[in-house]
A and B are shown apart, each in its own frame.
Chain A
């Protein structure tokens, strides 16, 4: 008997009698931009409201004029990134500006599917990350977010603020391995 069969047989013998799977309600909650911004700021991120998506370029010019290697399919890019881009190029990215799909007001997180990432490693290897979000896509909580998602695709990540750690004496440090800063442009 293979380990697979052994494990499955032991489970069949040892499992308790079947219990009911509960229904998970969607729950109510605040889905305002203000709530989303407050929570995002509390976890080390930053949110800026812009009038239209076309204003992303102006915002990047204002806040990130000092960064050289910008990768994006939304604003002007100085470094082209695609799924085949080698690691030594990916390593040079200072700023990535990509689309976020769903924002969650309760915890400041944003869903980013692989199709928006340009390269799976980009949102993590870039020194700074900007996500662009349609204000109509902010929901109150995770139940509503997964309800909208339907399909998670091949790979996708809920990103909540910059990379962080508190592994040394519980002191919060922003910029562990991933992005050192994270901004959301809400239009």
Chain B
């Protein structure tokens, strides 16, 4: 497996200064919308506590809740499948699709419409299905845009947030025949609407993600703003819903807590336009649920990190993160970017994602906005220890840390180093102290003037 390098990918993103600033401001704007939606709710902090405790409880009894969910879903006439990993998930989905071929359609590809599902991104389902001659159409507008461009999503709620309207205009000109240079979001959205209506009507199978699965009723809930999940599911003969094991909540009324938190935290809306409750298939139709592990049970066993399984995928931690905002979702090179991605990814592959826990200032803003109170910045810090103990630190970090540890453990050496450094900073030319390959910290910063004495010296001179 390749070694992913967040600093390098972030540096590439930062080459376009204006676009980086725009990306930063756009996501901060979403964070501000979140604040405006959150502050008027007097019990918002109580809701966060409830959401966190309900999820804690659910994880502590997850096997029994999954069994209860399965039993009730089966009673409702829903087919329930279990997948240990991405490969098994993809195979199950493909088998269902292949069995759904309509009579008289032997000659053409089977047509699948999808609404947003980060799990299927995680499993790389689209590529697998396309290789097996299934037509896959992502129907969420942002997802359709990046599907045309053959890019992964850069954000879990706003998949095309890295693109400007000019980029989308160019993509739609190429794929949908809109006028060259057209960049009005209204016009472009209308073009996508017309194009995707045809796809909805022609689809054989619809696939959705799952926001919440309710053990007590065997129902599951899908939240969208566009209505694409409902349109797809209700026009196709077969509905496949894919969920990670952590999507379970015990009771129907627990939805009241999460529906008040999710959209407010995500985009600053009071609720998503559509909060759809699927319990039984329509007469003559089929409904399937695929329950997926893919590393989640392993994370459940990590006491320091199991909390990350409480995530409801609102994206608030990304919108607020100063590193995410200025490095872009693609720099994480993981399905879920941002702070939450940086604590989920090392569980999947510690070597590949060893740079991600360092893609943070540990400012704690992610933890402050998390609607289910995941201690994200604490987990980032803890992953750093594991990365270090597993000898996965980059060479410069490793030797830097080693050197610093030595100096800090010997007071005399420390005093002398400080003195030398203060002297050197005053004498050495700017080009040397700010040499960017030796001192990457100085890439966009100026060092302050070196003080004449250390605090220790000052204290000794001044104490009575």
Contacts and interface: CB of A to CB of B under 8 A. Distances in A.
A7 B82 contact: yes
Interface in B239-263: 245, 250, 252-257, 259-260
A154 B279 contact: yes
A23 B326 CA distance: 41
Given A15-B61, A166-B158, A155 B185 contact: no
B331 interface: no
Contacts of A3: 82-84, 88, 293
Interface string A146-171: 11010011111111111111111111
B109 to A, nearest CB: 19
A65 interface: no
Interface residues of A, number: 74
A160 B271 contact: yes
A8 interface: yes
B197 A91 contact: yes
B54 interface: yes
Nearest to A121: B234
Contact of A142 (B159, B186, B230, B259): B259
A2 B282 CA distance: 30
User: Which of B62, B234, B235 is the most central at the interface, judged by chain A CB atoms within 10 Å of its CB?
Assistant: B234
B254 A24 contact: yes
A142 B256 contact: yes
Given A8-B67, A175-B193, A157 B277 contact: yes
B122 interface: no
A22 B201 contact: no
A152 B226 contact: no
Given A109-B271, A155-B279, A167 B160 contact: yes
Interface residues of B, number: 91
B141 interface: yes
Interface in A1-17: 2-4, 6-8, 10-17
Interface string A1-42: 011101110111111111111101001000000000001001
What 8 A-B pairs come out closest when comparing CB atoms? A178-B227, A14-B301, A167-B142, A107-B270, A176-B226, A10-B297, A121-B234, A154-B280
A108 B273 CA distance: 9
B217 interface: yes
A177 interface: yes
A75 interface: no
A175 B139 CA distance: 14
B234 A167 contact: no
Given A109-B271, A157-B230, A157-B274, 13 more contacts: A4-B82, A6-B293, A12-B63, A16-B303, A27-B43, A142-B259, A145-B256, A155-B280, A158-B259, A163-B273, A171-B165, A175-B190, A177-B226
A181 interface: no
Nearest to B299: A14
B140 interface: yes
Interface in A99-126: 104, 106-109, 114, 119-121, 123-125
B364 to A, nearest CB: 24
A2 B291 CA distance: 13
B297 A143 contact: no
Given A8-B66, A83-B282, A160-B270, A24 B231 contact: no
A104 B275 CA distance: 13
Contacts of A146: 252-253, 255-256
A121 to B, nearest CB: 4
Contacts of B300: 10-11, 14-15
B210 interface: no
A173 interface: yes
A157 B275 CA distance: 5
Contacts of B298: 10, 14
Interface string B200-228: 11000000000000000101000001111
B301 A13 contact: yes
A43 interface: yes
Contacts of A163: 225-227, 273-274
Given A19-B60, A160-B271, A177 B139 contact: yes
Contacts of B252: 146, 149, 152
Given A20-B57, A170-B29, A177 B253 contact: no
A154 B282 contact: yes
Contacts of B306: 14, 16
B136 interface: no
A141 B43 CA distance: 12
Nearest to A167: B142
A176 B54 contact: no
Nearest to A14: B301
A179 interface: yes
14 contacts: A14-B298, A15-B59, A24-B253, A43-B270, A125-B234, A141-B256, A143-B253, A152-B252, A157-B274, A160-B273, A168-B141, A169-B164, A176-B141, A176-B192
A22 B372 CA distance: 14
Contacts of A17: 60
A124 B26 contact: no
A88 B201 CA distance: 8
A10 B301 CA distance: 9
Contacts of B219: 152
B160 A168 contact: yes
Contact of B272 (A11, A90, A160): A160
Contacts of A177: 139, 193, 196-197, 200, 226-228, 231
A15 B66 CA distance: 13
Nearest to A1: B84
B141 A147 contact: no
A152 B63 contact: no
B425 interface: no
A116 to B, nearest CB: 14
A7 B84 contact: yes
